[in-house]
A and B are shown apart, each in its own frame.
Chain A
Amino acid sequence: MLIRNGRGLTENDVTPHEIYLRRREFMAAGLAAGLGLAGGAAAAPLAFRPSKWSTDEKRTKLEDITGYNNFYEFGVDKDDPAKNAGRLKTSPWTIQIEGECAKPGRYTLEDILKTAPLEERIYRLRCVEGWSMVIPWIGFPLAALIGRVQPTSKAKFVSFETLMRPDQMIGQRSPYLDWPYREGLRIDEAVNPLTIMAVGLYGQTLPNQNGAPIRLVVPWKYGFKSIKSVVKIRLQETQPKTTWQMLNAREYGFYSNVNPAVDHPRWSQANERRIGEFRRRETLLFNGYGDQVASMYRGMDLRKFY
């Protein structure tokens, strides 16, 4: 049987080899364009694969995830970020990576997105205020990004900083927190497979109020550790100062691991209200991620290192 192939196709119809070789760049550029659009409120769909680390619990409604936020850069009330974050311009975006590493530098978001394939991580999020959600994040392991910049043996901690831009982040015009927002992790926590940099949720790019275009997610720690809209990552030898600890060290520790046995002075941490549920439920040690993270804290007094 005669097989007719390529009716009238010529060599000119084939994608030029040099463009073919740059196909990954185009994909990354398209993705970045989508992330940029998120600043204008329109979310763009993301390509991702599932992850074995995802929970199968019922996911919190998108409108609750995007309408009930602690993002003090946009105001202190839970609905302030949804109201005020639309003004933030998230494109172009770069992250300055510096400190104890062989390849410091200013990395564009497009470049950072080439670090590793995106995965969906459906994680529990527990806020220090006693409420929780289940959020389908899209992101990649922070370990991949840290590996890329080749940390030196002195890199014992990682510190993070949020964008400082008071003209677009109206909360920063008031000094109730010491801006810019700062957070930190020990290096082993940072490269734990559960720790991700998220760029999306519910299959779409991050809405601004959730920390667009790129944020940290550390699911076994209280939510305030998962710093949003990150512009700086620093590898360092000493334990970094973090924003809430600087404000009130007695109430907010560096570790801030979810722990029902260690109360916050103002809230019991024994239980929590899952958003969308009526009755409170028991809070789990390490937010239920003990199998993956407890070994990092073996021998540590979690009351002292709260």
Chain B
Amino acid sequence: MDRKTRDRIVYWAVWLACFAPFVWLAAQAALGELGANPIERLIRQLGVWGLRLLIVGLAITPAARIFRQPRLIRFRRTIGLFAFAYVSAHLLTYVGVDQYFDLAAVWRDILKRPFITLGMLGFVLLIPLAVTSTNGMIRRLGPQAWRRLHWLIYAIVPLGVVHYYLLVKADHRPPLVYGAIVLALLGWRVVERLRSLRPS
């Protein structure tokens, strides 16, 4: 198998892995297998998958460096856009299905409930990253400005974790696990940065 074919296969495997939770949720919804409160389950699952993919996206750069696999970087955009798709579906299900487009109620929620305020902020910050994900936009912005803009992800992912933490009633261990992973991924960057600054 030549390298190009192999790349293709790997790319589609990643794409399918990202898409699989959507298919799984859609199938469960169609079969009525989402339990007694399907809307709540759907919102929760879409949100959790959005957060997981955001974290996977954050892990790519460290993984590429640590395992000396620079070509891993090419998956970052796909994973990031899938994360955006899940987060958008999560939000849309809350606004459209759960609240039935009662935008006044949604606005009250945003103002009043910190977990919704922070989740919403995270989503709003994700929009410019999704919009500027095309090659054309990267060129137009210039790599330097594009990179700076995309540093926003370092705020967005923690916002997602805090959003999750705040909505949990009692058992905070799952969001704390996500938080620890995010902390490690951000911590690695800080260490790398300090190392590169140190005169050798």
Can you sample 22 A-B contacts with CB below 8 Å?
A: A64-B36, A67-B35, A67-B36, A68-B36, A68-B37, A76-B169, A76-B171, A78-B36, A131-B37, A131-B40, A176-B171, A177-B170, A263-B112, A266-B166, A266-B167, A267-B113, A268-B105, A268-B108, A273-B39, A275-B37, A276-B36, A280-B99
Distance between B34 CB and nearest chain A CB, rounded to angstroms: 11
Please indicate which of the listed interface residues B98, B109, B113, B172 has the most CB atoms of chain A within 10 Å of its own CB: B113
Chain A residues 87 to 103 lying within 8 A of chain B, measured CB to CB, are none
Please indicate which of the listed interface residues B36, B98, B171 has the most CB atoms of chain A within 10 Å of its own CB: B36
Q: Is A150 an interface residue (CB 8 A)?
A: no
Distance between B171 CB and nearest chain A CB, rounded to angstroms: 4
Q: Is B178 an interface residue (CB 8 A)?
A: no
Distance between A108 CB and nearest chain B CB, rounded to angstroms: 32
A residues touching B (Cβ–Cβ < 8 Å)?
A: 61, 63-64, 67-68, 72, 76, 78-79, 131, 174, 176-177, 247, 263, 265-268, 270, 273, 275-276, 278-280
Q: Mark B101-133, 1 if CB is under 8 A from A, else 0.
A: 000010011001101000000000000000000
Given contacts A263-B112, A265-B112, A265-B113, 7 further A-B contacts (CB under 8 A): A68-B36, A78-B36, A174-B173, A268-B108, A270-B105, A273-B37, A280-B99
Q: Which chain A residues lie closer than 8 Å to B11 at the CB level?
A: none
Complex Cα distance A298/B13, Å? 65
B residues touching A (Cβ–Cβ < 8 Å)?
A: 35-37, 39-40, 98-100, 105, 108-109, 112-113, 115, 166-167, 169-173
Distance between B126 CB and nearest chain A CB, rounded to angstroms: 23
Complex Cα distance A279/B171, Å? 29
Complex Cα distance A133/B11, Å? 47
Known: A76-B171, A177-B170, A268-B105. A280 touches B113 (CB 8 A): no
Q: Nearest CB to that of A130 among chain B residues?
A: B40
Contact of B109 among A72, A247, A268 (CB under 8 A): A268
Known: A275-B36, A279-B100. A266 touches B171 (CB 8 A): no
Complex Cα distance A280/B108, Å? 17
Distance between A202 CB and nearest chain B CB, rounded to angstroms: 15
State whether A266 touches B113 (Cβ < 8 A): yes
Q: Which chain A residues lie closer than 8 Å to B39 at the CB level?
A: 273, 278
State whether A68 touches B35 (Cβ < 8 A): yes
Q: Nearest CB to that of B100 among chain A residues?
A: A279
Q: Nearest CB to that of A248 among chain B residues?
A: B169
Distance between B65 CB and nearest chain A CB, rounded to angstroms: 37
Known: A67-B35, A78-B37, A131-B40. A176 touches B172 (CB 8 A): yes
Q: Which chain A residues lie closer than 8 Å to B171 at the CB level?
A: 72, 76, 174, 176
Q: Nearest CB to that of A265 among chain B residues?
A: B113
Q: Nearest CB to that of A75 among chain B residues?
A: B171
State whether A280 touches B36 (Cβ < 8 A): no
Q: Which chain B residues lie closer than 8 Å to A63 at the CB level?
A: 36
Distance between B187 CB and nearest chain A CB, rounded to angstroms: 27
Q: Which chain B residues lie closer than 8 Å to A72 at the CB level?
A: 170-171
Q: Which chain A residues lie closer than 8 Å to B172 at the CB level?
A: 176
Q: Nearest CB to that of A275 among chain B residues?
A: B36
Q: Which chain A residues lie closer than 8 Å to B100 at the CB level?
A: 279-280
Distance between B164 CB and nearest chain A CB, rounded to angstroms: 13
Complex Cα distance A229/B170, Å? 20
Rank and list the top 8 A-B pairs by shortest CB-CB distance, nearest first.
Answer: A68-B36, A64-B36, A176-B171, A176-B170, A76-B171, A275-B36, A266-B113, A177-B170
Q: Nearest CB to that of A79 among chain B residues?
A: B35
State whether A76 touches B37 (Cβ < 8 A): no
Known: A266-B115, A268-B108. A78 touches B35 (CB 8 A): yes
Q: Which chain B residues lie closer than 8 Å to A280 at the CB level?
A: 98-100
Known: A131-B37, A265-B113. A247 touches B170 (CB 8 A): yes
Distance between A107 CB and nearest chain B CB, rounded to angstroms: 31
Complex Cα distance A275/B40, Å? 11
Q: Which chain B residues lie closer than 8 Å to A267 at the CB level?
A: 113
Complex Cα distance A273/B35, Å? 14
Distance between A58 CB and nearest chain B CB, rounded to angstroms: 15
Complex Cα distance A72/B37, Å? 18
Q: Which chain B residues lie closer than 8 Å to A279 at the CB level?
A: 100
